[in-house]
Structures are given as C-alpha cells and as structure tokens.
Amino acid sequence: MKKKMFFTVAMLCGSSAFAQSSVTLYGLMDAGITYTNNVVTSAGHGSNVQFVSGSSQGSRWGLKGAEDLGGGLKAIFTLENGYDIGSGQLGQGGLEFGRQAFVGLSSNWGTLTLGRQYDFIGDILPAYAIGAMTPAGLLAWSLPAYAAGGYTLDNRVWGDEVNNSVKYLSPTFVGFTFGAMYGFGNVAGSVGTNSSSNFVLSYENGAFSGSLAYMSIHNATASANSREFAGGTAYNIGKARIFALVTDVQLSSGSKARATTYEGGVTYLLEPQLSLGTGLQYQHRNNGLGSANQLVLSADYFLSKRTDVYVVGALAHDHAFGAQAQAALGDPSSTDVQTAVRVGIRHKF
C-alpha cells in the first residue's frame, strides 16, 4: 500500500477557499538469483550463477504529487530514482532521478507533462509484452531489445526515458485515447539534432484493448536516425489474458539495419495467489543476419498484494549472434543457444 502524506493549502481568491494537495511516496524492490548456461568465459564457456537486482522490474523509489487548482485542474509532478539493491548504486548512469522527472497539468481535457519521461511505447505497449505481463522482465526483453546486436535496434518497449520532452495524453473518447510527444535535442543552431517524435492511439472496450504507436529519433546512433512502428492487442477471457505485440525498427543510413519482432503470450490465474505465464518471441533481421526466437515460462506466487515470489525460465536461439537470454545484465552465449532460470522476490510499497 502506498504511503500518502496529505496537507492543505489555503487559497485566497476574494473569499476563502481550500484546495487539497497530496504527495505519495512509492517504490519497488526486486532481487533474485539467475542461472545462465553457455556463458562466454576466458577459458571458452561455462555457466554463471549470480545475484541480480531489478531483473523482473527495475528497483526504484519515487514521489508523486498533485495539487488541486480548482475547476478540475490539477498540477502534478513525478520524481523517480532507480537503484541497484545488490550494490546500493544509482541506476541510469548515476542520475539522481534517472527514471522520471517531470511536472505538468491534468484536467478533463487531458494531461500535459514536461521533463524526463517515458515515451508512449515504453509507457503503454508493455501491456502487450511478455516481459511486463509476466515476471520475466529482462529474461523477455533481450530479444525485442536486440541485445546481441548492441541495442542499436532497441524497440523501446522495455521503457526508455526521453530527456527535455513535452508529452500530451488525451482523455478517453468512446474508448479511444491518443497522445503526442516531442523530445527537444537542445542543440544550438539545429532544432532537429537529437530530437524525437512519438504518437500513440489506443482503444479499450470491455475485455479487449489495443494500441498503435510511432517513434522517430534523430541521431539514434552516431550516423543514423531511427523509426519504429509498434502495435499490440490483448483480450481477457475469464482468468486468462491473451496478448500479442509487433514492433518494427529501422535505421536510416548505411545498410539500413532493420529488426521486426513478433511476440505473443498468455497468463492464467490458476489460483488467487498463483499466476502462470508463457510466451514466444520471433525476430527477423535484414542484411543476412537471419532470425532469433525465444521461449519464456513463468510462475508467480503472491504472498500478499505487495509481495510476490517467482520463477522464470527462458530458452533463446539466435542464428546470427551468440544467443543472449537476459538483456542488459546478461552475457552472450558461446553458441547459438542459451538457457536462463531465475528465482526472485519482488516487493512494492
């Protein structure tokens, strides 16, 4: 349960009026042990057993605030810090609030925010991804993020932050919402350099939901811009949720590297405390780099509403690179196949 601190702000506008404001402290901690086989070593290859923090979800703590300005208008803000449980170090390159830091206004006309914040692909599309719908996390983000290729074709679904951004999300109209976002490059003499543009359209009606998104990034690499199309859909049937996601990312220069990733999965609430999940991923690449695929299995047991323990298994097969079953914190395989198994605990506050 999130802890809330409430205070009252007096406002004098002719007659006395009172508006309520709130600040919420929240966070998440994830830690566990991950086993990976076929890891490249100085002697050739071997297995690796390691303590890993933030594999299912990145560990974080943050503050959210809202001030009622009257007439349905609110001022809002979020400051969110990422950190490593195992070492206590700051995440996101050591930034104080590297995950999110933004301020804005919210009303019945929508929400407008400014600062460092997730784009819509990282904000909304995880609702259709194996890495977020199960506790797999990085064990399901590696292939979509194109880890073996050096993250040059990252599809951003695992959540990337955009600096200097302005973001608008509409209210819901007959099930539809839309959003637009622009990230300023802040480069003197060039508006376009390092800038980004992002758009999303979502629809929800009962058990069905779906989203389409587009993202363009100037200078995504030292020599190329990138563009991405993403679409996802989900349907809830009783205790089951069926979901699917497609992303297509391409660079603009050189050989115009491109990766198209398809994934689909299902979760099932076997008991009120136990959720089972599975998913398949397939990625096709151009320039003769073949394809890759991965199978993910998970079991998630809820000790309470805020605490769960889980086990996740992933089998990766890559036809062009040493397979890598876990993004960011994982190691590439000495072969085209790699298996990873993780046992972890996650607590939210």
Domains of the chain plus CATH, in order, are 3-348 (2.40.160.10)
Question: How many Å apart are CA 100 and CA 81, to the nearest integer?
Answer: 7
Query: Can you give the pLDDT at residue 114?
Result: 98
Confidence (pLDDT) at 240: 98
335: helix, coil or strand? coil
Q: Is 68 helix (H, G, I), strand (E, B) or coil?
A: strand
pLDDT at 14: 37
Tokens of 9: 């702000």
CB 327 within 8 A of CB 141: yes
Beta bridge partners of 40: 45
Contact 127, 243 (CB under 8 A): yes
The answer to whether 167 and 181 are in contact (CB under 8 A) is: yes
Decide if 237 contacts 207 (C-beta within 8 A). Answer: yes
Q: In angstroms, rounded to a whole number, what is the distance separating the alpha carbons of residues 141 and 331?
A: 14
63/188 Cα distance (integer angstroms):
33
Q: What's the pLDDT at 12?
A: 33
The alpha carbon of 131 is separated from its chain's Cα centroid by a whole number of angstroms, namely: 8
Type of residue found at 312: V
What pLDDT sits at residue 6?
38
Token pair 């299912």 in the structure block, residue: 56
Residue 45: predicted pLDDT? 79
214-236 pLDDT tens trace: 999 999 998 999 999 999 999 99
Closest by CA position to 99, among listed 129, 139, 61: 61
Q: What is the pLDDT of residue 2?
A: 45
Task: Give yes or no for a contact between 316 and 143, defined as CB atoms under 8 angstroms apart.
Answer: yes
- The beta-strand segments (E) located in the chain are 3-13, 15-41, 44-53, 60-70, 73-82, 100-107, 110-118, 161-169, 176-183, 196-205, 208-217, 226-237, 240-251, 258-271, 274-285, 291-302, 307-318, 337-348
What integer pLDDT is reported at residue 19 of this predicted model? 63
Are 346 and 135 within 8 A, CB to CB?
yes
Q: Which residues of the chain have pLDDT under 70?
A: 1-19
User: In angstroms, rounded to a whole number, what is the distance separating the alpha carbons of residues 114 and 112?
Assistant: 7
* Sequence-separated (6 or more) residues with CB below 8 Å from residue 259: 146, 149, 153, 155, 248, 249, 250, 283, 284, 285
DSSP category for residue 138: H
